[in-house]
Amino acid sequence: DQSRVFEIKIIEYFENHKLLIATDITELYQLAQIRRDFVANASHELRTPLTVLHGYLELMRDMPHEGHWDTPLEHMHNQTLRMRAIIDDLLTLSSIEADSITAELEEVDVPSMMQHLHIEAAQLAKPEHHLVFEVDACLALKGFTEPLKSVFMNLISNAIRYSPDGGEIKVRWYQDEQGAHFSVSDQGLGVAPEHIPRLTERFYRVNKDRSRTTGGTGLGLAIVKHVLEKHDSHLQVSSVLGKGSTFYCRFAPARVILLNDFE
């Protein structure tokens, strides 16, 4: 029956014997699709009224008004920006899930991307942060440019935001026989072991209040996870509470492109 969806697992259970298990997951698949469409439609519908609110708030903020309105107007304006960021991230997630980045693989010039990210990171960082970028200037990747940029930027901006007292933030892009590697290490808050497996869930936060005030959407690592899956990679986290964290991912050698140093 071609309208059903199956999950196929092959299990090796004895020398040269394989067991093929097909599970009918049609209902699960349809439910996931309904959820995806609902989130995408709801996010899309919320965007227009929010744009109107945002526009009027900006107008009111910039028009002559009594001084005691300054703070409330500034707060409302900031909150509409936050809602906008959440809606945009929800739309990004649904479009990744709907496979809309199965387009042509591109040659991603990671070294020059890192230069831009370094500039963006310096704008986010506080004077107490010490940014270190160690980048292999010849190492590019087969992948999807904009989604990968958002993966790297999400991890770098988290490292900055969750190191409130500063410290070194080290970004590395290097290769060895296992492929290309990206890592971000910080000396910040760290994450307790029980939270680590859940970090890539939507809206999962270790400390809800802190995350809200630091301006995240709660969707960053969910986006990272999905984009990495599209690159056959996954996020790894090692962290010590109170000492800092390293977020890391690897790309298979088949994805590596070496740029000519002399060009």
Binding mask 121-160 for ligand ADP (x = CB under 6 A): ---------------------------------x---xx-
**Which two three-digit tokens encode residue 133?**
């970028």
- Other CB atoms within a 10 A radius of the CB of residue 96 amount to 20
Contact positions with ligand ADP (CB under 6 A) in 46-65: none
Nearer to ligand ADP, 113 or 221 (CB): 221
Nearer to ligand ADP, 72 or 193 (CB): 193
Q: How many residues bind ligand ADP (CB under 6 A)?
A: 23
Using an 8 Å Cβ cutoff, are 159 and 245 in contact?
yes
**Which two three-digit tokens encode residue 210?**
């802190």
CB of 213 to ligand ADP, least distance (A): 10
For residue 129, the 8-state DSSP code is E
Nearer to ligand ADP, 239 or 255 (CB): 239
Give strand pairing partners of 20. Answer: 10
Nearer to ligand ADP, 94 or 245 (CB): 245
CA distance 107 to 255: 9
Nearer to ligand ADP, 147 or 190 (CB): 190
CB of 169 to ligand ADP, least distance (A): 9
Query: Is 217 a residue that touches ligand ADP (CB under 6 A)?
Result: yes
Nearer to ligand ADP, 94 or 154 (CB): 154
Using an 8 Å Cβ cutoff, are 150 and 117 in contact?
no
Query: Is 89 a residue that touches ligand ADP (CB under 6 A)?
Result: no
Using an 8 Å Cβ cutoff, are 205 and 199 in contact?
no
Pair type for strands 236-240 and 129-135:
unpaired
CA distance 132 to 172: 8
CB of 205 to ligand ADP, least distance (A): 3
CB of 34 to ligand ADP, least distance (A): 24
State the Cα torsion 84-148-233-255 to the nearest 10°. Answer: 160
CA distance 34 to 27: 10
Contact positions with ligand ADP (CB under 6 A) in 157-216: 158-159, 162, 186, 188-191, 199, 204-207, 211, 216
Q: Which residue has the tokens 């409302």?
A: 76
Q: What residue ranges bind ligand ADP (CB under 6 A)?
A: 154, 158-159, 162, 186, 188-191, 199, 204-207, 211, 216-222, 245
